[in-house]
């Protein structure tokens, strides 16, 4: 369909912005973009996406409206004034973990906001309503790969429950008011200018700071990472393929409603993902070639026949009156120190003599480490 009037909600969001960009570049559509630019994550990222769209919109086919889905009067006005052919509802409160702490935000945006869209499509008929669902609706399903025919009645988060509710609400509106509609279950979307709360950004920041990345379930965790361009291409194709409104045997219209998965169909182990991420960050110079901050060495010293000795072999260690184990870094700082009076007590002065011996031994070991590993590091 040429010269369509299209509404994209969540137009400053990750998927929404790249969808608008693709429509501007590859179609003659006139597009209205709606977004409330909320502070769930840095609004500066959303503003940067809008600047990207302004650069692409060379012929003035994109109009941005800052507003909220929950504003029923605004939604009604937009539909009445524009007569949309296609509506793509991508606006939603995202984030599974955030839904645990802020449930009201999800009910308002994902349920009330979507209800306003459905009502507007009811009173101002559109040729196709496309909306974002989520792979999270599959909840705790053990069967893989996921299929649109699988049961999705056991959500494990409020976010998932709201997305399943969207599917049920839309199916009902589709049947009652003959609204052609398609729901798309997205799988772990990634790409440039993505949401900073997504794993690949969070993991990158932790790696840069030298923090620990927490991976649960003993690392047995897989994600179907899907590049944003593939998601957007799927949405674009679906937009032009509305379900046909058909009549049932009872003479009443059937629901012209479909649901599709859009994913990569190749789940990746999260440990492999972290390993790949770290390797690429090293190749791009974001991380040093080694996470080692300082060379480290450990050595032992002891007192045998009242004489301090370094690097004791077992035959000498076993008859040492005092035994001291020391781990140091190349700065001479002590990481671990353990001294034991095996045959007698020892003085602070004797301990200091043994520490100085260990420091000498650690320096020599670190020199050898650097000789061997220097080219690798």
pLDDT of residue 291: 57
pLDDT at 167: 94
pLDDT at 75: 97
Residues in contact with 137: Cβ distance below 8 Å, sequence separation at least 6, in sequence order: 152, 155, 160, 163, 164, 167, 185
Q: Which of 137, 135, 117, 114 is closest to 126 using CA atoms? A: 117
Any idea where the domains of the chain sit in the sequence?
5-193+224-265, 296-373
Angle CA(169)–CA(71)–CA(183) in degrees, nearest 5?
A: 30
pTM for this entry: 0.72
CA distance 131 to 259: 10
Q: How much of the chain is helix, strand and coil, in % rounded to 5?
A: 40, 20, 35
pLDDT of residue 373: 67
Q: Looking at residue 146, what is its pLDDT?
A: 74
DSSP per-residue letters across 250-292: TSSBPP-EEEEEES-S--EEHHHHHHHHHHHHHHTTSS-S---
**Spatial CA neighbour of 8 closest among 68, 97, 90:** 90
E-assigned strands of 121-267? 128-134, 181-186, 189-190, 222-223, 226-227, 257-262
Kindly report the CATH number that applies to the domain delimited by 5-193+224-265: 3.40.50.720
The pLDDT, as a whole number, for residue 376 is 47
Q: CATH for 296-373, among 3.40.50.10190, 3.40.50.2300, 3.30.230.70, 3.40.50.300?
A: 3.30.230.70
Q: Which run of H or of E encompasses 337?
A: strand 334-341
Whether a cis peptide bond, with omega within 30° of 0, leads into 92 is: no
Q: Which backbone phi and psi does 360 adopt, to 5 degrees?
A: -60, -45
The confidence score (pLDDT) of residue 151 equals 80
Cα–Cα distance measured from residue 360 to residue 353, given in angstroms and rounded to the nearest whole number: 11
Q: What is the mean pLDDT of each run of 10 residues along the chain (377 residues)?
A: 88 96 96 92 92 96 96 97 97 75 85 96 97 84 70 81 93 95 90 81 82 65 82 95 87 87 78 81 80 79 90 74 91 90 91 92 86 60
Task: Answer yes or no: are the C-beta atoms of 204 and 277 closer than 8 Å.
Answer: yes
- Catalytic positions, written as ranges: 159
């Amino acid at each position: 369909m040429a010269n369509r009037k299209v509404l994209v909600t969540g137009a400053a969001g990750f998927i929404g912005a790249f969808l608008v960009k693709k429509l501007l570049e590859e179609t003659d559509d006139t597009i209205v973009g709606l977004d409330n630019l909320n502070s769930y994550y840095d609004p500066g990222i959303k503003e940067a996406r809008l600047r990207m769209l302004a650069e692409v919109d060379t012929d003035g086919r994109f109009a941005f409206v800052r507003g909220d889905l929950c504003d029923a009067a605004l939604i009604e006005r937009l539909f009445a004034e524009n007569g949309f052919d296609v509506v793509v509802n991508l606006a939603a409160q995202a984030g599974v973990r955030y839904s645990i702490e802020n449930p009201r935000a999800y009910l308002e945006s994902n349920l009330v906001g979507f209800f306003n869209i459905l009502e507007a499509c009811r009173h101002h008929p559109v040729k196709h309503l496309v909306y974002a669902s989520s792979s999270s609706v599959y909840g705790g399903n053990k069967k893989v790969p996921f299929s649109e025919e699988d049961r999705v009645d056991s959500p494990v988060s409020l976010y998932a429950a709201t997305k399943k509710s969207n599917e049920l609400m839309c199916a009902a509106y589709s049947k009652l008011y003959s609204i052609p509609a398609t729901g798309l279950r997205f799988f772990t979307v990634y790409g440039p200018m993505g949401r900073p709360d997504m794993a690949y950004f969070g993991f990158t920041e932790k790696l840069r700071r030298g923090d620990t990345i927490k991976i649960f379930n003993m690392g047995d965790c897989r994600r179907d990472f899907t590049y944003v361009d593939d998601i957007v291409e799927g949405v674009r194709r679906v937009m032009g393929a509305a379900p046909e409104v058909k009549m049932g045997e009872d003479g009443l219209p059937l629901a012209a409603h479909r649901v599709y998965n859009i994913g990569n169909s190749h789940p990746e182990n999260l440990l492999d993902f972290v390993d790949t991420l770290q390797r690429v960050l090293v190749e791009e110079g974001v991380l040093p070639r080694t996470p080692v901050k300082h060379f480290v060495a450990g050595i032992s010293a002891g007192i045998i026949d009242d004489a301090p000795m370094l690097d004791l072999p077992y035959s000498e260690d076993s008859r040492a009156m005092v035994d001291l184990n020391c781990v140091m870094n190349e700065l001479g700082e002590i990481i671990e120190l353990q001294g034991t009076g095996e045959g007698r007590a020892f003085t602070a002065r004797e301990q200091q003599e043994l520490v100085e011996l260990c420091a000498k031994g650690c320096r020599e070991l670190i020199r050898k480490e650097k000789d061997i590993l220097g080219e690798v590091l």
